[in-house]
Structures are given as C-alpha cells and as structure tokens.
Amino acid sequence: MLEVPFEGGCQCGEVRYRCTAPPFVSYTCHCLACQHLTSSAFATCIQVPAEALSVSGSPSFRERQADSGNLLSTAFCATCGSAICSANSARPRIRTIYVGTLERAEDVEINAHIWTKRRLPWVVLPPSHRKFPEAGDWRPDYAREPSRLEG
C-alpha cells in the first residue's frame, strides 16, 4: 500500500519529487514508445493529480506526439537520463509518474496492463489483472473525479 506523501527521484539524485495524493490508477504500459523510453520491456506507471506532484532539481523535457495526436511531455534528468514523469496535453490535470523512480516502488500495487498487443512474449501477466490491447479505459478508476480525464 502506497502511503502519501511519497517521494522519489532519478538515478543520480539531482531530480527529486514529492507527491501528496494517492494514485488514481497503477498499471504497466507495453507500447513500443514505453519500451524505448525505459530501455526495457514495459513502463510501470501511476497517475496522480497534477497539483499534488512537485518536482525539484532541474529536469529536462522532451516532447513527442503520440499516435492519438496528443502531445506527451516527459521530464527526465539531464545528468543521468532517468525518466521521471510525463504530462499528456489531452489531460492537463493528470501527471504520470514512472514507478521505478519511487523510493518505495514495492508499495505500488499494479493490477492493470495496457497496450498488451505489444507485450513481449516472455512477459506473463497475472490472470486476475485487467488487460487492454491498446489504451486503457480508466473511467472506473476516476469515478470520484471523472472531470480529470478531460481537458
């Protein structure tokens, strides 16, 4: 169980963050962009209220256009290269944190997986977890604040 506030940072310690609200949703993303971003098989992500996340240090930002046409801006440490978090232009009131940067990543309970059609064949997903072939439908997870999913 992830307790708030929680903190994390990059590999070298230059970029740090603190989040004062619990995540709405916790999942892995198996899309090709996340495989490239993490140099690994998938990204592990949590989505939090934008205003609950404060980042210190001086992250660099990289922007790219997603298949959806939305602009994704990823904050990363310019010194060590760790990807920290990202923002999606379609959902400005949400930030996505990459779970590998948390101090206590083991406290995050993952129970959903997106872009599973790009999953590498040796990644085995627990049968009870939610799976989406492409983007996730997070409306049930945002039931207490559905407007967050809009602009």
Q: How far is the CB of 104 from Zn ion (least distance, A)?
A: 19
Q: Is 25 helix (H, G, I), strand (E, B) or coil?
A: strand
Cα gap 134→33, rounded to integer Å: 13
Residues 114-133 that bind Zn ion (CB under 5 A): none
Judged by CB under 5 A, the stretch of 63-71, 72-80, 118-126, 131-139 that binds Zn ion is 72-80
CA 41 to chain centroid, in Å, comes to 15
Q: How far is the CB of 145 from Zn ion (least distance, A)?
A: 23
Judged by CB under 5 A, the stretch of 33-41, 65-73, 91-99, 117-125 that binds Zn ion is 33-41
Q: How far is the CB of 39 from Zn ion (least distance, A)?
A: 13
Cα gap 146→151, rounded to integer Å: 11
Helical residues (DSSP H) of 1-151, grouped into ranges:
32-38
If binding means CB under 5 A, how many residues of this protein chain bind Zn ion? 9
The total number of residues shown for the chain amounts to 151
Q: Are 74 and 55 in contact (CB under 8 A)?
A: no
Binding mask 75-114 for Zn ion (x = CB under 5 A): --x-xx----------------------------------
Residues 3-22 that bind Zn ion (CB under 5 A): 10, 12, 14
Q: Are 102 and 3 in contact (CB under 8 A)?
A: no
Positive or negative, the CA dihedral 144, 69, 88, 86 is positive
Q: How far is the CB of 116 from Zn ion (least distance, A)?
A: 11
Residues in contact with Zn ion by CB under 5 A are 10, 12, 14, 29, 31, 34, 77, 79-80
